[in-house]
Amino acid sequence: MSTINLSTSLFSTLTRHNPIDSLRIPLCSLCLCGSILLLLLLLLLTFAPALSRAQEPPAYSVERLHIANYPVTLAFAPDGRLFYTEKAAGSVRVILPDGTLQPDPVLTLPVDSLVERGLLGLTFDPGYAENGFIWIVRTAPGTARDYPTNQIIRFREQDGLGSDPQVMFSAPITTGELHHNGGNLHFDSDGLLYASFGDYGLAANAQDLTTVPGKIHRFAVTEDGLIPAPGNPFPDSSIYAYGLRNPFDFVLDPFSDAIFASENGPKCDDEIDLILPGRNYGWGPDYGDQCFGLEPVPVPDYQPPLISFNPTLGMGGITVYDGTAFPGWTGDLFFCDWNGGVLHRVTLDDSRAAITQIEPVDLQGFFCRIDVVTGPDGALYFADPMGIYRLRPISPG
Ligand SMILES: [Ca+2]
Ligand SMILES: [Ca+2]
């Protein structure tokens, strides 16, 4: 997409400033030479600012904060500690504000970590400062009687020690599928809990409003556990949006009411979706081999993506930059991709419902394959299966 955008802007620039038309060059070789020189000069003047920008050293450095054992979700506590989930170990770990890793895990739970299963999402309760609750998603191992199950679990954390894990929601993997677990969760400013579930390898789930997989759900937290949030689009249902194949992560925009999701589509339709209540993002059993991109998909309530990628990227974590260290990035979306390990910066227009530009961020040899978040210091923190990394200004402030 960055190539397309760049080509488009080059084309429009050349069209606007076409010197052949405006100068009406006489057919003599001398004038031709002169006009070629003039053309080169115009091109130089047109692109010099961009070239000099490109050659400026980046105003940031990237470093590895810690080696880590397959971190899936990074999340900062209000007190500045960085919590993360370890996919295969089933542990929640914490890095202290001084950068040291707490030696012992906060909590460790048994997990089925085959392929895309494991300990996945993590977020802080809106009342965390008072109640210490942390919410996670894990794949509980199956037994002779029970399917492996993706569970939303709440536990209490105090002084780096977790206790009292409680299963708040379960979605058994009845298909036996190892991919498409989704597995992220976030609260909105009203205290409602959103959670993403992939289709469990069965596309029909995505269009079936009676099943959990292939959706983003919205819950209210009550004394009795999670219930469908009041005002949800379908009666007595926690489903908030459907037609999704594997919405790995999503972010509640701190600058608007928008929700942006990273949806892992088939063949070409990896996409960023603007998640709206009751909308259908198109994935289903009739999808077939077609790449739809921005074209309509013939399903009810269809909502096209903001952008789709061809070939697929394998989209990972997605976030909105709301720090102060990079004022030029304020409000931009950032996401990681599994396939290329690239951190992408996405610029939105003022409506925050349309993308104007997307470009890779130079990670100076590091890779961003899973999650990315803004730290309290305004740095961007991101992960690949071997570590957690930090991108921060060379001169903080
Ligand atoms: Ca779609
Ligand atoms: Ca995330």
By mean pLDDT, which of 22-26, 61-65, 272-276 is the weakest? 22-26
Q: State the pTM of this model.
A: 0.86
C-alpha of residue 283 to centroid of ligand 1, in Å: 5
Backbone φ, ψ for residue 9 (5° rounding): -70, -35
C-alpha of residue 373 to centroid of ligand 2, in Å: 7
pLDDT at 340: 97
C-alpha of residue 211 to centroid of ligand 2, in Å: 24
C-alpha of residue 305 to centroid of ligand 1, in Å: 6
- Give the span between the Cα atoms of 241 and 243, in whole angstroms: 7
Question: Do residues 276 and 250 make contact, with C-beta atoms less than 8 angstroms apart?
Answer: no
For residue range 355-375, what is the model confidence (pLDDT) as tens digits? Answer: 999 999 999 999 999 999 999
pLDDT at 55: 42
Q: 341, exposed or middle or buried, with CB in 10 Å at 0-12, 13-18, 19+? A: middle
Domains belonging to the chain, first-starting first, are 2-55 (no CATH), 61-393 (2.120.10.30)
C-alpha of residue 89 to centroid of ligand 1, in Å: 32
Q: What is the mean pLDDT of the chain?
A: 88
DSSP-based three-state secondary structure for 51: helix
> Which ligand sits closest to the CA of 335?
2
C-alpha of residue 204 to centroid of ligand 1, in Å: 14
C-alpha of residue 18 to centroid of ligand 2, in Å: 46
> Which ligand sits closest to the CA of 71?
2
Angle at CA of residue 374, ends 272 and 304, nearest 5°: 10
For residue range 45-96, what is the model confidence (pLDDT) as tens digits? Answer: 555 444 444 445 459 999 999 999 999 999 999 999 999 999 999 999 999 9
In the DSSP assignment, the letter for residue 57 is P
Per-residue pLDDT band at 268 (split at 50, 70, 90)? confident
Question: Do residues 249 and 237 make contact, with C-beta atoms less than 8 angstroms apart?
Answer: no
C-alpha of residue 385 to centroid of ligand 2, in Å: 14
For residue range 208-265, what is the model confidence (pLDDT) as tens digits? Answer: 999 999 999 999 999 999 999 999 999 999 999 999 999 999 999 999 999 999 999 9
